[in-house]
Structure formats: C-alpha cells, structure tokens
C-alpha cells in the first residue's frame, strides 16, 4: 500500500470513529474494524491480495459500510457521508464507484429484495461475507441481543412465530420481531448466503455455535435444563 492509500485508510478509520460514536454496541466502530480485518483476511484467502486496488476497495468498503445505516440515520444528509468522504480524499473514480456499489448492495434487505447476483464482483463477496460472519457465532449472538435491548425488543415470546415470507419492507419493519426470532428470520440463513469459499468455511463453525446456543436457550426457557 502506497503513502496516499495509507493516508486515505487512516482518514477512513477516523471517520468511522466519529460517525459511529453514538451507536449501540451492535453497530459501533469496533464492528466496522472487525469487518475490515475479516474482509482483508478473506480477500487474501480468495487470492485478491495480488491487486492493490482490490485490497483498497475491500478495506474502504468494509470500514465505511455502516456509516449512514438507515437504522441509525438521524438526518437524510448522512446518506452521502461516505461519497463526500471519498471525493474529498481524492479516491480514484473506479475505486470510489466500486466501494459505493458494494456498500449500497451488500445488506440482507437488498438480497431479499432481489438484487441480481450477476452484479457481484469478488470484492463485493468478500466484504459482504465478512459483515455476515460478524452477525453470526458468539459475537453475532452478543450483537443480536445488544441491538434488541437497545430497541426495547421482547426477548422471546413463544406465541410470536418467526416470519417466513419476508419481503424487504417486512424485514425493515423491526417492530414485528422478537430478538430470538431474528435468529430464524435472518441469522440462521446467512451461512447458505456466503459468496466465497473462505467465508463459508468460517460460517460453518459460527452457524453450529448459534444452533447449539438456541437449543440450550429453549431448554432453559421451558425449564427443561
């Protein structure tokens, strides 16, 4: 990585810290940094490290992917923070376009909304897989309950069944969820949606951990354990 790229990445890290400072622990700066580290690791496993441009796209998209997230947006202008930042830092046009396209299309709501898989580039799959890996396993469980608690969501209600026919609009309507139902509506589906072989390998272990956690949770909830 050259001097210019190092300066851009450092500036991106500072933007993440300032822009995500007020978020709860499920979507804070630590999440963005974990996704960055996972993304770079997956990128190396997937053979992208031979291209400096690819690695910069991956790192910037991973760092900046949750800035302006609709769940935390306080002002519509926040939706342009990332684009304005990339322009201000003089990021090459092709890199800027790829970073923005990855961020725009990587969410779960976009996938259930019918985003065409033919549009995926290798960098997209790496960053999306890394973000989804951070949503499952031990950290995923912690993040799920942190987010649910921040929204005063019901922990579990056996009478409220997980929604099976989720559209993009229904998924975004968080009021209909319990925290535990979120595992069934999203988190347990992520392993099969991995785009890279490296991501799938890691997802297998994290997915199994969630299944074991839920089995124990339901036994304890029912007084069977």
Q: What's the CA gap between 60 and 197, in Å, rounded? A: 22
**Token reading at 136:** 């499952």
Backbone angles phi, psi at 108, to 5 degrees: -60, -40
Token pair 């322009």 is at which residue?
87
Q: What is the pLDDT of residue 113?
A: 57
pLDDT band at 25 (very low <50, low <70, confident <90, very high): very high
Q: What's the CA gap between 37 and 104, in Å, rounded? A: 20
Q: What angle do CA 112, 114, 115 make, to 5 degrees?
A: 105
Among the residue ranges 42-46, 112-116, 188-192, the one predicted with the least confidence is 112-116
Q: What's the CA gap between 168 and 15, in Å, rounded? A: 29
**Token reading at 39:** 């993304």
Q: How far apart are the first and last CA of the chain?
A: 53
Among the residue ranges 11-15, 36-40, 112-116, 193-197, the one predicted with the least confidence is 112-116
User: What crossing angle do the helices spanning 81-88 and 93-105 adopt, rounded to 10°?
Assistant: 160
Domain 3-221 top-level CATH class: mainly alpha
Q: What does pTM read for this prediction?
A: 0.91
Domain definitions of the chain by residue range = 3-221
The average pLDDT across 174-180 equals 78
CA dihedral 218, 223, 224, 225 (to 10 degrees): 80
């Amino acid at each position: 990585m050259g001097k210019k790229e190092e300066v851009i990445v450092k500036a991106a890290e500072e933007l993440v810290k300032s822009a995500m400072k007020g978020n709860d622990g499920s979507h804070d700066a630590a999440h963005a940094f974990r996704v960055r580290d996972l993304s770079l690791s997956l990128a190396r496993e997937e053979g992208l490290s031979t291209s400096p441009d690819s690695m910069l796209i991956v790192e910037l998209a991973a760092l900046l992917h949750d800035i302006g997230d609709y769940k935390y947006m306080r002002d519509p202008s926040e939706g342009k923070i990332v684009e304005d930042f990339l322009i201000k830092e003089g990021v090459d046009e092709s890199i800027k376009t790829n970073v923005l396209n990855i961020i725009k299309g990587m969410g779960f709501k976009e996938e259930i909304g019918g985003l065409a898989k033919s549009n995926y580039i290798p960098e997209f799959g790496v960053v999306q897989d890394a973000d989804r890996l951070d949503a499952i396993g031990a950290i995923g469980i912690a993040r799920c309950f942190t987010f649910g608690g921040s929204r005063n969501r019901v922990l579990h209600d056996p009478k409220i069944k997980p929604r099976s026919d989720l559209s993009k609009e229904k998924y975004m309507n968080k009021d209909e969820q319990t925290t535990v139902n979120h595992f069934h509506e999203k988190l347990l589906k992520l392993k099969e949606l991995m785009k890279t072989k490296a991501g799938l390998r890691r997802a297998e272990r994290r997915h199994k951990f969630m299944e074991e956690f839920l089995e124990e949770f339901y036994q304890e909830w029912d007084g069977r354990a």
